[in-house]
């Protein structure tokens, strides 16, 4: 029983990490994101608001009913000049419908609908922006896990190689083939590799914790990023081309443009209160002094007419409104310009960084190839007795540093490309979920 229990414990502790692809991470993270769910709800709310205000274009029909009791006193005079007083009671029962149809409202209805439609579009852009941020964070988190795991593998390999050199130099020092200081240097390098390995482990743990948080998982859930780094060449793009494309698709720019349009719609709504309006009105139903004859043909009534309202004086409020909205429009225009200037600067920096990281990647790739060749040559020379163990250890550390530089350069390039795509308004979910 104890043996079975121990086997179960060991299998639980040393269970292999669950594999995770980029596509799986994005699906799980997007489904979990509270911010995305909230943004979707805001779209539905904006759509409902638009539908509600669209109803103002149609006739308004209300049912009305009333009962009135009227009492009047009357005086009767006889020939002998005597008078009699009595009270007269009159009941009125009324049941019918009223109708009101706007014919002309000086832009109130059209501007109102345009305003709420633009609010709906802003909510859609807000959702897209929220999803872009969520996907950006998920891809960044996935990249970070893949990067730290690759660095951990490199640190593990470096540690094993340097441990082997410690064993070799210790054995050779005993037989006098190598110097004591070479053995000590090998031990120092091995100790440094242990520190590097601990750092790589801690970085991997932090990256795993951050990604698990985005996925809605517990921090200690073990995951293995299934990712093969592939640097695909992209067409060179100029700043002007990138900026032109970004103006069409970047959600921050689109939101700023829509908010500028909303100012104009709001102005039209407010000013309509100071302009003429024309409504078609109608009433119809039954009116009778008693309920028994309520629905007789002679109890019917109806009326149809047109109601025109022309505001004559509003305390100069129209002038104040126009001045107020002129300032609001100016502010919205400046907000749009600021958003454009910020976007252009971000694109310029991203394009510069992309070119720089690509150059660094090319240099790192060359360095790691040469370092591998140099280490192979040093190992052969060491076996032939024409190179010292110190030469081999130094070249191993050079190879390890080149490997780290190559891994970091790859992910720096991928991260910069991700940032550029976000600025340009490219749908990151479609770009990275395939």
Q: What is the pLDDT of residues 226-274, one digit of tens each?
A: 988 877 767 888 999 999 999 999 999 999 999 999 999 998 888 888 8
pLDDT for the residue numbered 203: 96
Q: In this prediction, what percent of the chain has a pLDDT beyond 90?
A: 48
Decide: 267 and 367 in contact? Cβ < 8 Å.
Answer: no
Q: What is the mean pLDDT of the chain?
A: 86
Region of poorest pLDDT, from 24-28, 159-163, 289-293: 289-293
pLDDT for the residue numbered 413: 95
Strands ordered across the beta sheet of 300-309: 60-77, 83-104, 277-288, 300-309
For the ranges 53-67, 87-101, 240-254, the maximum mean pLDDT occurs at: 240-254
Helices (H) and strands (E) in the chain, counts: 10, 6
Residue 157 confidence class, pLDDT cut points 50, 70, 90: very high
Rounded CA separation 385/378 (Å): 10
Token pair listed for 220: 């200690």
Query: With 90 as the cut, is the pLDDT of residue 350 above it?
Result: yes
Helix (H, G, I), strand (E, B) or coil at 221: coil
Average pLDDT over residues 146-173: 89
pLDDT for the residue numbered 13: 45
Rounded CA separation 123/130 (Å): 10
Question: What residue ranges of the chain are covered by domains with CATH 2.20.200.10?
Answer: 60-70+87-104+276-310
Which of residues 86 and 231 earns the better pLDDT score? Answer: 231
Query: With 70 as the cut, is the pLDDT of residue 133 above it?
Result: yes
Give the DSSP letter string of 97-155: EEEEEEEE-TTHHHHHHHHHHHHHHHHHHHHHHHHHHHHHHHHHHHHHHHHHHHHHHHH
Rounded CA separation 109/205 (Å): 58
Model's pTM, two decimal places?
Answer: 0.81
User: Would strands 60-77 and 83-104 be described as parallel, antiparallel, or unpaired?
Assistant: antiparallel
Rounded CA separation 426/123 (Å): 18
Q: Superfamily for 16-57+105-275+311-426?
A: Outer membrane efflux proteins (OEP) (1.20.1600.10)
Exposed/middle/buried for residue 74 (C-beta within 10 Å: 0-12, 13-18, 19+) = exposed
Residue 15 confidence class, pLDDT cut points 50, 70, 90: low
For the ranges 203-212, 263-272, 383-392, the maximum mean pLDDT occurs at: 203-212
Question: What residue ranges of the chain are covered by domains with CATH 1.20.1600.10?
Answer: 16-57+105-275+311-426
pLDDT for the residue numbered 82: 52
Residues 70-85 pLDDT 10s? 776 555 555 555 555 5
Q: What DSSP element (H or E) covers 86?
A: strand 83-104
Token pair listed for 348: 């310029």
Q: How far is CA 144 from CA 150, 209, 313, 408, in A?
A: 10, 11, 67, 10
Residue 179 confidence class, pLDDT cut points 50, 70, 90: confident
Rounded CA separation 181/187 (Å): 10
Q: How far is CA 259 from CA 20, 58, 119, 248, 262, in A?
A: 41, 27, 8, 15, 5
Query: With 90 as the cut, is the pLDDT of residue 291 above it?
Result: no
Instruction: Identify which of 249, 247, 242 has the alpha carbon closest to the alpha carbon of residue 351.
Output: 242
Cα torsion 293, 295, 299, 301 to 10°: value is 160
Which of residues 81 and 174 earns the better pLDDT score? Answer: 174
Rounded CA separation 23/225 (Å): 11
Q: Which fold has domain 60-70+87-104+276-310?
A: Outer membrane efflux proteins (OEP) (2.20.200)
Helix (H, G, I), strand (E, B) or coil at 282: strand
pLDDT for the residue numbered 6: 37
Q: How many CB atoms lie within 10 A of CB 428?
A: 20
Query: With 90 as the cut, is the pLDDT of residue 317 above it?
Result: no
């Amino acid at each position: 029983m104890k043996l079975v229990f121990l086997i179960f414990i060991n299998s639980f502790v040393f269970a292999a990490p669950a594999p995770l692809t980029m596509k799986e991470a994005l699906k799980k993270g997007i489904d979990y994101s509270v911010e995305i769910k909230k943004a979707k709800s805001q779209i539905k709310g904006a759509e409902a608001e638009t539908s509600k205000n669209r109803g103002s274009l149609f006739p308004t029909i209300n049912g009305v009913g009333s009962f009135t009791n009227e009492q009047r006193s009357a005086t009767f005079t006889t020939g002998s000049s005597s008078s009699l007083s009595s009270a007269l009671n009159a009941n009125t029962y009324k049941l019918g419908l009223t109708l009101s149809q706007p014919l002309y409202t000086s832009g109130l209805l059209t501007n109102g609908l345009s305003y709420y439609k633009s609010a709906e579009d802003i909510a859609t852009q807000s959702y897209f922006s929220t999803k872009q941020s969520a996907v950006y964070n998920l891809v960044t988190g996935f990249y970070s896990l893949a990067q730290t795991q690759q660095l951990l593998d490199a640190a593990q390999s470096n540690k094993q190689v340097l441990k082997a050199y410690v064993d070799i130099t210790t054995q050779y020092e005993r037989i006098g083939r190598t110097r004591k200081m070479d053995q000590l240097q090998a031990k120092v390098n091995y100790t440094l590799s242990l520190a590097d390995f601990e750092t790589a482990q801690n970085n991997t743990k932090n990256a795993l914790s951050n990604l698990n948080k985005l996925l809605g998982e517990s921090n200690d859930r073990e995951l293995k990023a299934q990712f093969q780094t592939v640097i695909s060449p992209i067409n060179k793009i100029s700043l002007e081309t990138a900026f032109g494309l970004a103006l069409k698709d970047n959600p921050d720019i689109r939101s700023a443009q829509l908010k500028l349009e909303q100012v104009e719609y709001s102005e039209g709504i407010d000013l309509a209160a100071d302009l003429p309006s024309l409504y078609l009105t109608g009433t119809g139903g039954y009116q009778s002094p008693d309920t028994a004859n309520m629905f007789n043909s002679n109890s019917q009534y109806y009326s149809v007419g047109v109601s025109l309202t022309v505001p004559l004086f509003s305390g100069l409020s129209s002038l104040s409104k126009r001045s107020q909205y002129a300032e609001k429009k100016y502010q919205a225009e400046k907000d749009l310009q600021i958003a454009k200037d910020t976007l252009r600067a971000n694109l310029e920096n991203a394009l510069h960084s992309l070119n720089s990281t690509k150059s660094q990647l090319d240099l790192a790739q060359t360095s790691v190839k040469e370092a591998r060749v140099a280490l192979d040559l040093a190992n052969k020379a060491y076996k032939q007795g024409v190179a010292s163990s110190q030469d081999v250890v130094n070249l191993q550390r050079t190879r390890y540093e080149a490997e780290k530089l190559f891994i970091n350069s790859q992910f720096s390039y991928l991260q910069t490309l991700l940032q550029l795509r976000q600025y340009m308004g490219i749908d990151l979910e479609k770009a990275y979920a395939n």
